[in-house]
Structure 1
């Protein structure tokens, strides 16, 4: 066991000497001096944790100069980028997004030794505490050094991340470390992300979803002067499609014959990786596997589809802008949607919905009509029912009265009793 001796100086100050027998009984005496008792105690515990030997990487009188390198270790950022490069089944834009997250956020990961020394993160040296420290850095953000009030900054070099973003980045980090655990040869024995305590997502409003009542949507629709643009807005709120899905529909995706008219979601607009295809948009698969779906159309939407597909070829877009091509989000938003919303707000509309809020509105209308969440999940093309519950589950509060009535009705039915005693 190591011990601490306090040695007072003539000037009133003191030093604290940690002494121990190297390797235990039979070893030679070793010692190290410190200027305060707390640091001395931390070093004492380090010595004891290493079987009464000098901690690896510690130089007497200097502290941790470097940590002992681990054979086969790789810098964290290098390994993370290689992991993303080797991913299959993702498009170029997603791969670029992952690389950006590594460059801006995951690169902030550092390793702090037991003595408080910071080192660049590697695949092997990162601990659970290091991951927790990274979460705190993400939560806190980085104020702009030029901000005159760093305690309550108004300018940021890097803004504090919301809980959902932290969870998404932590998920990517988890997958990268898990790959190191499962690799051959194995680089790690455990995943340092496994027991991280993340900020609660429901403690923060990630986005202020806007749900429109039917009359509120009609007030906006009435201000859209272009009938083709109005039809596209009606389609979005009537189907719950994502913008990229609706704008990518082709005439061939329609099935309007018979009593059950439908539309098939097979593609969506994607933004190309910068530097390729001019950073333009291109047609690709929908967001997830379950986003490939067939939607039943109401009679009104079926008639709308017939109007827009009349005289068009199978490969023509269902919704076409003035020049005959597909609608672009920016053009529709700036020239059609935003002016209509502003006019409606000037006339008393209390909300300022985005185009994507038409999808949220569609879900809220279905819930108000007592459509169960699993059916809404399929309708919206959510990969997981959890996504549907997280976003719209709170709207089901209106069903509480129905549930209470059902329980009351069940309990109020008289029980037929035979009067016979049961034998146990």
Structure 2
């Protein structure tokens, strides 16, 4: 009788704990590529410091891997590089995905390392792991030169919806088209649910190793802001800072850290802004960066379109505060997204009506909108001239800079040219000429 009672009691304990686990995890079954493990995943390379001497890498593991490590070495033609690899302990942080109700409540660890004191214009190989058996493959990148030199990068508009299903072929075609690009600008709206880990898992899986090979330049978009709890204010994705290691600029509030930053790549200055909040504070940051710039080319990127070509909201504050500064300092190229359409146009300089700033709005994902031609025409009052437009097309752009020429080409998902233009610049006078495709 006592034995029966004991068995029955054990059954109740097991059943209760089993029921508790089942009730706690009322979520769909996760795909294997969503689940964290001892092996590093979601490896992403970013800028954090001088691109000629620094690079940052961030990755994820399960809760069993409490410490992470990265190894780096100068690349060699043979396999001897691993003998000279330097090992660096990562900054590791525990993170609870269950902070948002859309996620299965899992504990994960994010790890990050910033490689410093690298040699300019050199190939490096790196890998990340736990310091023992669980390592990534060796991954290769090249540091920037100190001096002005040919530069190529890729720019994507919104990925946002059906990212794994549809954006994947865009980013993979882009890699086939420009495999040696130095970095990739993602102009916001990576996902359609800021805090949802499944959405981010799809973004990482869609590009796979490309995120760890090209240096990623993330630009925060409107979809990266969402309420974490019911009726709470919108806030930056809880996953943004754990998974991207980015510069923390001085002279701006901590709230803007790692969403507002800049870097100079071979005398091309890239300024990244956050068009979702604190516009006035960033206006001062933008003007100071442009006023002090010694770069031969200045490129600014932020999510919302200055010249929005759809019936969606107009970026009024940006138009009032940022556009005059972009014009004043004769910025070469402004890269936006948000509207899920394609437009390229330009404005003249304030002084002599020469070519001023070229503005591009693009989309790489499957969510598409229709152009509002009347609205676009209304921008002519501000001197804006539309040069090319399109809709219902997934696109990516490759920008190549060499000598006194900036070449811009937009491509379709098939890798075919969709739009092309060139800017030639006299560096002594800062005057520019745009050459349109025929």
TM-score by length of structure 2 reads 0.22
Structure (1 or 2) with the larger CA radius of gyration: 1
Bigger RCO (CA 8 Å, 6+ sep):
2
The normalised TM-score by structure 1 is 0.22
Which has the larger helix fraction?
A: 1
